[in-house]
Amino acid sequence: MAVRSIAEAAPPTPWSRNLAEPTIDPSAFLHSFSNIIGDVRIGANVIVAPGTSIRADEGTPFYIGENTNIQDGVVIHGLEKGRVIGDDQQEYSVWVGENTCLTHMALIHGPCYVGDGCFIGFRSTVFNARVGAGCIVMMHALIQDVEIPPGKYVPSGAVITNQQQADRLPDVQAEDKEFAHHVVGINQALRAGYLCAADSKCIRTIRDELTKSYTSKGVNGFERSGEVYSSSLGAETVEQVRYLLEQGYKIGTEHVDGRRFRTGSWTSCKPIEARSLGEAIAALEGCLADHSGEYVRLFGIDPKGRRRVLETIIQRPDGVVQAPTSFKAPAASYSSNGSYNGNGSSNGSSSRLSSETVDQIRQLLAGGYRIGTEHVDERRFRTGSWQSCKPIEATSAGEVVAALEDCMDNHQGEYVRLIGIDPKAKRRVLESIIQRPNGPVAASGSNKSASTTATSFASTTATATSTKLSSEAVEQLQQLLAGGFKISAEHVDQRRFRTGSWASCGQIQASSLQQAIAALEGYLAEYEGEYVRLIGIDPKAKRRVLELIIQRP
Residue 64: count of CB within 10 angstroms of its CB? 28
Residue 272: count of CB within 10 angstroms of its CB? 18
- List helix spans (H) across 63-199: 163-167, 174-197
Closest CA to 36 of 59, 16, 63, 55: 55
E runs forming strands in 450-542: 486-492, 503-508, 531-538
C-alpha distances in angstroms, 40 versus 7, 24, 59, 82, 458? 10, 8, 11, 17, 64
**What residue type is 95 in one-letter code?**
W
The rounded Cα 80 to chain-centroid distance in angstroms is 39
For residues 221-230, b (16+ Cβ closer than 10 Å) or e, as one string? bbbeeeebbb
Closest CA to 154 of 191, 181, 180, 186: 180
Mapped onto helix, strand or coil, the DSSP state of residue 181 is: helix
User: Burial, 515: exposed, middle or buried (Cβ in 10 Å; 0-12, 13-18, 19+)?
Assistant: middle
Residues 85, 86, 89, 93: is their CA dihedral positive or negative?
Answer: negative
64: left (phi over 0), alpha (psi -120 to 50) or beta: beta
Question: From CA 248, how far away is CA 276, in angstroms rounded?
Answer: 11
User: Burial, 390: exposed, middle or buried (Cβ in 10 Å; 0-12, 13-18, 19+)?
Assistant: exposed
Closest CA to 389 of 356, 435, 338, 346: 435
Question: From CA 549, how far away is CA 432, in angstroms rounded?
Answer: 13
Helix (H) or strand (E) holding 548: strand 543-551
Is position 58 annotated as part of the catalytic site? yes
DSSP letters along 201-244, please? HHHHHHHHHHHHHHHHHTTTEEEETTEEEESSS-HHHHHHHHHH
Catalytic residue among 8, 21, 58, 239: 58
**Cβ proximity of 124 and 143 under 8 Å:** yes
- Which residues are CB-neighbours of 169 under 8 A, at least 6 positions away? 148, 149, 152, 153, 154, 160, 542
Residue 180: count of CB within 10 angstroms of its CB? 20
- List helix spans (H) across 64-173: 163-167
Cα diameter, the chain: 82
Question: From CA 393, how far away is CA 377, in angstroms rounded?
Answer: 25
Active-site residue set: 58
